[in-house]
Every structure is written in structure tokens, then in C-alpha cells.
Structure 1
Amino acid sequence: MIFGQKKCNEQYVAETFPFHVPVVEFRAFSIFPEINSNHSDSPAILALCARNLISYLTYCTVQTYPEIHQNQYLPELEQYFNELSKFLLSKKNLKLFIRTTDSYAITEEDTAYILQQIPAFPVPPSCCHDDILWIFNLLKQIICTVNDPSSDYWKLLYNLSAQWQLRLSSHFPIRSKSSSMEFWLLSSSRQYEYLSKNYQNAFKWGREFDQYYRDFLAHGFSDISARGKARKKFIENHPVPKTDDELLNVPEDSPGLTAPAVRRYHRIYLDIKQGNFSELT
């Protein structure tokens, strides 16, 4: 096979099977950050490392135990997943531990809050995957150090960082793109449990419209035409009741069919898909 053919075939595979392309989880490389003047004191650096560990531990939990297989898990695991969801969705934990965009940034207010919250992080059961238990053990050591001001936290963090680097050499954090999508899906579905039914429906209708819209785009229609045809198909799938019988049996969760309503559903769907819950919380 000549190089040009090989390149074309690789491009074909990537375009045809986009969710099977391997991706590296960048969070694994920023658990123990470079120390600078913004977090040179012990509370700040300990809180920062604890936050990063919890974020990555949660990611590994979701990747290891996809929600699609939830009926196959042991009761101890189900209980742990529920406790983990409760922890992450209480107060501002979701924003601090999951939706963080900078592994090295932390404020004094965040430091105090994180140190207050980490002792309540749920303990994974012994039947959990070894990687999850190993990461939690590192977190537990940090929690113990926080509770013991006299401890040598620099030595601890050096040892933990060295262990982490050695672990990465034999457990390289590479996943398929489909696995990363599962992480988003589960994170979103956990969020739905705490959203109003209206927003759940808005997401569902926005996803339906988005599917129609992208199908029309794939068939060569312009953006404006694709949106118009998608809305028409959406209306056809949710017909307006006309007879008395239809009016008496209208589902409570029927969508609005006006252009602004459909645009709102679509915007909510896209926002949640991109991890932006600002309108929903």
C-alpha cells in the first residue's frame, strides 16, 4: 500500500467511525500541578490536588461502569453511584469538581469549601475496579494530611506524584471517543434527576429536532432550509389536536410548536451537550 492510499484509508475510517477514534484523557496529566505563588500554602495545594483527584476518579467511575449496563451491577455499586451523584449534585460541587476548566486554578473561597467537602466524598466499595480504589486511596491520604496540620505535606505530595507518574506508565489513560461520550451522557442523565420535568422534556425535544436538522444537512440542504424542514417534521411528529377526543387526550408534556419554542428546545439540548448547565441551575 502506498502512503497516499494509507492516508486516505485512515481518513475514511476516522470519518466513517468517528466515535471509535482513540482519545487521551488530559486530566490524568494535571492531578499534581506545578506549584506557584497562587497556591504555595498547604491548604490551597492540598485542596487543589484533592479536587483534581475527585474529578478524575469520577471520570474513571463513569467510564468503567456505563449507565447503559446499570442493571448488571451489584447492589453495593448501585448504592455507591447514588451516593456519588448526591455528593456531586449538592450545593456547588458539580461546578467545582466536574465542570472545572483549569486544573491549576483555585481561589481562597474554593479552598475552604473543598477542604470542608472532601471528607464527605463517598467511599467506593471493595468490589470497585482496582483503579478506582487506588485513586481513592490517594485521596484518603490527602484527607488525613488535611486533618493533621503537623504532617509533612510536601513529602506526601512528592510521594503521591511519583506514584501517579509510575501508574501512568502502566495505565495510560486512553479511551475511545465513544467512551468519552458515555461519560457526558451519564453526567447529563444524573443532572436530569434534579432538573424540572420541563427541562427534561426540552432536552428530549431539542435532541429530536437536532436529529432531523442534521439529517437534512447531510442531504445537502442549506442551514436555513434544514432548520425549516426539521421544524416541519417536528410538527408532523407532534400534531396539533383537532377533534374533541384528541383535545381530551393531549399528553401533559406536549411541546410548543412555534419557531421560538423549537429554537429554545434546540438551544437547551446543545447547551447540555456542551456541558453548559447555566440556564438550568
Structure 2
Amino acid sequence: MKVLVPVKRVIDYNVKVRVKADGSGVDLANVKMSMNPFDEIAVEEAIRLKEKGAATEIVVVSVGVKQAQETLRTALAMGADRAILVVAAEDVHTDIEPLAVAKIIAKVAAEEQPGLIITGKQAIDNDMNATGQMVAALLGWAQASFASAVEIAGDAAKVTREVDGGLQTIEVKLPAVITADLRLNEPRYASLPNIMKAKKKELAEKTAADYGVDVSPRLTVVKTAEPAGRAAGIKVGSVDELIGKLKDAGVI
């Protein structure tokens, strides 16, 4: 079974995000970029499925700018077999919207014919949490979102999902789309030998036009602003005073 894993290039999760002075977006100048953490979990899960014998080939795909080659090389160094880069923008500040990304991934899936697509549940830069579901809808495949455990048995996948108040286990027929949650696994580090090997692995480069997909934005970002700072706390001298303050704040 072939597994397709979409990955996205985002600001590294350890970097403090800075907003441009004019509020037009996030400042990406001299900022470290890396693979979206949830997508990294998806790549790891695909590798584990291959190690168990449930998968035979892992193909990673990224939609964005040419610099996403670095992100794909990271996935190849982790253990993916080959990569596809779909160049859909020239400016690193251009974020391709989920619907356009989903259409391209669906076209890639139609070409590659994978038995399973695993992607992160969301990207940490825009938190849309929509691409995986849209891909499943476009392909007409079953979907299992927010997976915290995945088990492949024959032509079906058993997926455990975290829901309010507990865990839900569902079974979907393959081919299917699974979106990875934080607790699905802990991604491995790419070793130096594997990083060197990744440079020789196949990385095909295409464009959005090759798939006939219009990536023109449908949304307009009106303003980007940093979160407001937290107000200073106060100390209370008794339980009665605490209750009074909570009442004043409308909490109780």
C-alpha cells in the first residue's frame, strides 16, 4: 500500500512570531522555518506503518514556495521514499488557502493512487484545520480526523480519536484520509547518514498549473495583530474578598 503524506513549511514552533509594523501579516525575514509539527507526526506514522509491513511506499507532497524543498528533504531524511513539490507561489508571505491545497492534493492522489493519505490535523501558522477534510470530500473517501492511534487491518483502518470526555474508536474502509493529532506518536530525529541519503532521493517539482488548479486567494486578511498582553493579577486577603472579586468580574 502506498501512503501519501502532505507536509507544510511553517515558522518553527520555537520561534516567537513577530507581526509587521503595518499589520499586514507576519514578519518572515531571517526567521527559521521547519515542517509543521502535526505533519511531522503524520510522516512518522507513515514510516511506522511501513516498518510494520502495512505500507510499501511513502510519498510526501508539499504545496507552496520553492523553499519547501528543505521541508521535503527533512521528510525524506526521516524515511519517506520520494517527494513532490508543487510550486504555487513565489512570495514566501503568500499562504495558499486550504481549498486550493486540497484540490492539488486530490489531483496528486488521483495520479499516485495511494491507499491512504495521512496529514496533520492543522498547520500551526493559520490553524485552519480544513485541508484533510476537504481532500476526503473531493476524493469521496472515508475520513478519520484527530487520530491518536492508527491500526491497519486488511482493507480497513481502525482509528482512535480523542473526543470530549474520552476516546472514540472508528473503522474506515481504505482508501481513506487520516489527520494526525498530537498524541499519535513522537517523531524521530533524522540521522546524519539518512540526511545525506535524502539528497539522492527523488524530488519531483511541478506547478499548480500542471494540475489545472487556480490558487487565487478567496479570503482577504484585513489585519494581523499580536495578542493583547495579560493584565496584572492581584492578591486577596480572604475567601470572602476572593468571592467578591469573582462576582464583580461576572465569573460567579
- Judge same fold: TM > 0.5, yes or no: no
Question: Relative to total residues, which structure has the larger strand share, 1 or 2?
Answer: 2
Question: Relative to total residues, which structure has the larger helix share, 1 or 2?
Answer: 1
TM-score under structure 1 length normalisation: 0.26
Larger Cα-atom Rg: 1
TM-score under structure 2 length normalisation: 0.28
